[in-house]
Amino acid sequence: MPKIEFPMGKATRDAYGKALLRLGKEMPNLVVLDADLSKSTRTSKFQEAFPDRFFNIGIAEANMAGIAAGLASSGKVPFISSFACFLMNKAFDQLRMCVAYPNINVKVAVTHAGISIGEDGPSQQGIEDVALALALPGFVVLVPADEVAAEDLVAAAAKHIGPVFVRLGRAEAPKVYKEGDRFPIGGSKTLREGTDVAIIANGLLVAEAVKAAGMLEDEGISAGVIDAYSIRPLDEASISAAARKAGAVVVAEEHLLDGGLGSRVAMALARSFPVPMEFVGLDNTYAESGSPAELLEKYRLTAPWIAEAARRSISGKKTARSGGRRQGGGRR
Amino acid sequence: MSCDSAKLQMLREKARAIRRWSCIMTAEAGSGHPGGSLSAADLLSALYFHVMRHDPANPGRPDRDRFILSKGHACPALYAALYEVGYLKGVDMKSLRRLGSPLQGHPDKRKLPVLEASTGSLGQGLSIGIGMALAAKMDGRSYRTYVMLGDGECDEGQIWEAAMWAGAKKLDNLTAIVDYNKIQLDDFVRNIVDLEPLEDKWRAFNWDVQGIDGHDMSKIVEAFERAAAVRGKPQVIIAHTVKGKGVSFMENQVKFHGIAPTKEELARALAELDRA
């Protein structure tokens, strides 16, 4: 298989801003709320085009979530945005009480997710937002890998009836997909087939996973890559099929290991086809200030670390067969 | 919205019915919040039987006035008002808090769709009300949105986030009612976090403020009528009420915030309410 080099694309938050502009024309009932971060979340583009359908709630995320619920109950389709950590952490109870529990049609689009926001440091880095979104029954949870996926998934969120969470990043993201690719809710994208190990990733780590698969190929290891952009509903059939085919799995995400994609994939495979698994993500820690590239490397979220996890997962196959316990394993 | 003495008398009778149900429902359930239900009964009677524009035969009509019980624990009084006005035909009013009942322990919009919001985690109803009032402005609809808050609930920061935003945006189709019964779960409000000067706080947030006796039906009706005529400001009615109002042994008793009457207490309560 030839090496795949992805060109650098726009940040997924930029795709969000662009998608809102398009959707604003198509859907007169679409409204957008922000909490004094509209320039960063890119909802300011929508404000310029549709000033009557944009509401800046100020630095009051809880109030924003409640207002959105009231608007949605009155026939509007509200998108609410802030940084991942602020919206999910500060408005969690409001998303629970006003949106999830009564199943109200509010769209939660968070930006600046993960540690790749860089220099601002851990107070601004959303590393638990997916876990929180998954703890809201009924929420669809989406994590696009690039601008193409982000634009399509924001549109899918707008058209879906019910609460949706979309996770977006600050940093430019490698462009993994072609214009026109479609991303249905509940689907996944198989980017490579592999017979030795299957790497399941989402968000920024999809491109890293593909890079890792290339590194493994040089060693004669056949690694598959699946972009699990829809964490809930999860494409369990494709993930299970890839696990059966490869017999070993790695899950990679820019999030705490606790309660993210890895947990969901492990639960799915434990039920359908248990195989040795390894996990790449933030391991029981906050990050720090630094450049995005430095942080991703220091916190072991880059291709070499994914490849390393793949080798460990593959070695687990032999010990699993012989009935022995593996030594070491991950860093936990 | 004129209100003659016969109408006022009817509203008082409906308030009595709401109080009776609040006692019966919580006693049947063996749990619940009678104190804050009894304090809100007169206000709910005025809203559902006189002030609000709504139609029990057509509960989903888009121009209906909205009511949100942000102090969701007082739902026995809300269920009673909805029942008395004709929304809950066929609902077993003695099923409060039972498995499978639409009359959940706190308001649940999915199980009882006539409710405008699910509440029970305090501090959130005013924000939802803002969303509804905003939608009315956007769509050029004339409906009004009413949100009832508890006094203890005003400890929640989100109330003041919402108050600040609605005031700044001049949402004059939104009316908040504070059921100021002076008692919260643990103790008297003044002993937990004194809210005073409460009227000044709302005024400082650019709201039109009226302080009234929340058990004087003619004052209640007057206050709602005045509020509806205010332009350029949201309105708050600070209704001074008595926790447990109408049942002597519950009045001003911290205990009856969240303790249901026993069967024996229920009989005494109903006897008092029927005599009054």
In which element (H, E) is residue A244 found?
helix A236-246
**How far is residue B262's CA from residue B275's CA, in Å, rounded to a whole number?**
20
pLDDT digits (tens, 9 = 90+) for A231-266: 999 999 999 999 999 999 999 999 999 999 999 999
pLDDT digits (tens, 9 = 90+) for B128-140: 999 999 999 999 9
In which element (H, E) is residue A252 found?
strand A249-256
Cβ burial, residue A331 (10 Å; 0-12/13-18/19+):
exposed
**Is the CB of A63 less than 8 angstroms away from the CB of B158?**
yes
The Cα angle at residue B106 between residues B102 and B112, in degrees rounded to 5: 30
Q: Residue A193 above 90 pLDDT?
A: yes
**How far is residue A88's CA from residue A96's CA, in Å, rounded to a whole number?**
10
Please list the residues that pair with A227 across neighbouring strands. A189, A201
**How far is residue B57's CA from residue B126's CA, in Å, rounded to a whole number?**
27
**Is the CB of B127 less than 8 angstroms away from the CB of A55?**
no
Q: How confident is the model at residue A319 (pLDDT cuts 50, 70, 90)?
A: confident
Q: Among A133, A127, A191, A125, which residue's Cα sits nearest to residue A157?
A: A133
Q: How confident is the model at residue B194 (pLDDT cuts 50, 70, 90)?
A: very high
**Is the CB of A76 less than 8 angstroms away from the CB of B135?**
yes
| Six-digit token string for A268 | 């799915």
Q: Residue B262 above 70 pLDDT?
A: yes
Q: For chain A, what are the domain ranges?
A: 11-174, 189-318
In this predicted structure, what is the pLDDT of residue A5?
Answer: 83
In this predicted structure, what is the pLDDT of residue A318?
Answer: 81
Specify whether A61 is catalytic: yes
A93 inside 8 A of chain B by CB? yes
**Is the CB of A66 less than 8 angstroms away from the CB of B131?**
yes
Mean pLDDT of A32-47: 98
pLDDT digits (tens, 9 = 90+) for A128-163: 999 999 999 999 999 999 999 999 999 999 999 999
**How far is residue A213's CA from residue A197's CA, in Å, rounded to a whole number?**
9
**How far is residue B145's CA from residue B128's CA, in Å, rounded to a whole number?**
10
Instruction: Give domain A11-174's CATH architecture.
Output: 3-Layer(aba) Sandwich (3.40)
Q: How confident is the model at residue A329 (pLDDT cuts 50, 70, 90)?
A: very low
User: How high is the mean pLDDT of chain A?
Assistant: 95
A179 inside 8 A of chain B by CB? no
Mean pLDDT of B152-177: 98
Q: Among A241, A282, A13, which residue's Cα sits nearest to residue A130?
A: A282
* Closest chain A residue to the Cα of B135, Cα to Cα: A71
Q: Residue A54 above 80 pLDDT?
A: yes
Give the fold, CATH level 3, of A189-318: Rossmann fold (3.40.50)
Q: Residue A328 above 50 pLDDT?
A: no
Asked whether the beta carbons of B194 and B180 are under 8 A apart, the reply is: no
Residues of B in contact with A86 (CB under 8 A): none
Sheet holding B235-240, edge to edge: B66-69, B145-150, B174-180, B235-240, B208-213
Question: Can the peptide bond before residue B197 be classed as cis, meaning omega within 30 degrees of 0?
Answer: yes
pLDDT digits (tens, 9 = 90+) for B66-101: 999 999 999 999 999 999 999 999 999 999 999 999
* Locus of tokens 């820019």: A254
Q: Among A46, A35, A72, which residue's Cα sits nearest to residue B134?
A: A72
A63 inside 8 A of chain B by CB? yes
- The three-state secondary structure class of A116 is helix
Pairing of strands A223-227, A189-192: antiparallel
pLDDT digits (tens, 9 = 90+) for A70-107: 999 999 999 999 999 999 999 999 999 999 999 999 99
**Phi, psi of A262, deg, nearest 5:** -55, -45
Mean pLDDT of A296-312: 98
Domains A11-174 and A189-318 share a fold: yes
